[in-house]
């Protein structure tokens, strides 16, 4: 029985994160698998975890796979180090990691532009032992300004994401106010206004935040939403989060953007992990 059956579901724009769903398939087969499941839009973490600057042939192959599948790329992460795992990011990590992030900025922007993608996500980066947090924050702002300008060059927004402390204990942005605070600093520094909050309801719930209050306070500054149920980070209906109600609140608060499905399929093929959502509600409106 589908969990999302109401008008709320019908009025959402859902996309599938191909870095956590359909990972049983090779990368280049995932866009077509999402399309076969009824979705018209996808998003991705940076697919090449070891390389911020992959060969052009690899970029071209992924672009072709997305285009051939007939799906829209709606979100793409900048290089963030080793994902999945304890999300660590790169842009606030002094030395080689932040250098990799900078080398990746225009690669991501140009690839996104080639597919009409309008949202680029930058993971902040973990705290590093022996480094002054203020030094990391200054480096982060410097790199986020560069990323925001690259996003603006292609008509895109820059997303700043809050994670959760239990799973990413060294990540400093583990509350909605912390994430939005960085958004505000970037916009103030650039004057562009294109930095937005990535509201991940799973991460926020893991932090014990009042989700209705977060939605009421920050919906206007939100550029993208991601969902998974809690506990377990599974599909809606596998945990206790009232996700349909929360998305309805977002809708009433004026949010009209994409909702990324960023959950684990469990012990089954990803194609079987969408029973909560009727097929007729999967295509972006």
Q: Are 163 and 206 in contact (CB under 8 A)?
A: no
Find the mean pLDDT for residues 204-219: 98
Which tens digit of pLDDT belongs to each residue from 233-269? Answer: 999 999 999 999 999 999 999 999 999 999 999 999 9
Domain range summary for the chain, segments of one domain joined by + = 7-281
Q: Which two tokens stand for residue 265?
A: 């399929």
Answer with the residue of higher pLDDT: 281 or 55: 55
% of the chain beyond a pLDDT of 90: 90
- Catalytic residue IDs: 161, 262
Distance CA 18, CA 47 (A): 9
- Quick one: pLDDT band at residue 143, thresholds 50, 70, 90? very high
Q: Are 277 and 9 in contact (CB under 8 A)?
A: yes
Specify the 3-state DSSP secondary structure of 220: helix
Please name the residues in contact with 70: beta carbons below 8 A apart, sequence gap of 6 or more.
35, 40
CATH classification code of 7-281: 3.20.20.150
Question: What is the enclosing helix (H) or strand (E) of 225?
Answer: strand 222-227
């Amino acid at each position: 029985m589908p969990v999302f059956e109401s008008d709320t579901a019908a009025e959402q724009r859902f996309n599938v994160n191909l870095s956590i769903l359909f990972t049983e398939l090779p990368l280049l087969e995932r866009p077509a698998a999402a399309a076969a499941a009824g979705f018209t839009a996808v998003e991705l973490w940076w697919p090449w975890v070891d390389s911020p600057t992959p060969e052009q042939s690899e970029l071209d192959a992924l672009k072709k796979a997305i285009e051939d599948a007939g799906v829209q790329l709606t979100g793409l992460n900048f290089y963030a180090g080793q994902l999945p795992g304890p999300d660590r990011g790169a842009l606030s990590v002094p030395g080689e990691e932040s250098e990799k992030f900078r080398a990746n900025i225009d690669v991501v922007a140009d690839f996104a532009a080639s597919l009409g993608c309008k949202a680029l996500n930058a993971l902040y980066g973990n705290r590093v032992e022996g480094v002054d947090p203020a030094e990391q924050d200054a480096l982060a702002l410097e790199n986020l300004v560069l990323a925001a300008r690259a996003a603006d060059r292609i008509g895109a927004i820059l997303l700043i994401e809050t994670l959760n402390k239990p799973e990413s204990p060294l990540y400093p942005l583990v509350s909605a106010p912390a994430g939005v605070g960085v958004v505000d600093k970037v916009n103030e520094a650039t004057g562009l206004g294109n930095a937005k909050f990535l509201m991940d309801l799973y991460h926020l719930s893991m932090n014990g935040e009042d989700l209705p209050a977060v939605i009421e306070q920050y919906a206007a500054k939100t550029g993208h939403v991601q969902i998974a149920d809690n506990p377990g980070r599974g599909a809606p209906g596998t945990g206790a989060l009232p996700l349909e109600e929360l998305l309805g609140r977002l809708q009433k608060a004026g949010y009209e953007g994409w909702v990324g499905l960023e959950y684990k399929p469990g012990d089954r093929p990803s194609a079987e992990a969408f029973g909560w959502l009727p097929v007729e509600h999967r295509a972006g409106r």
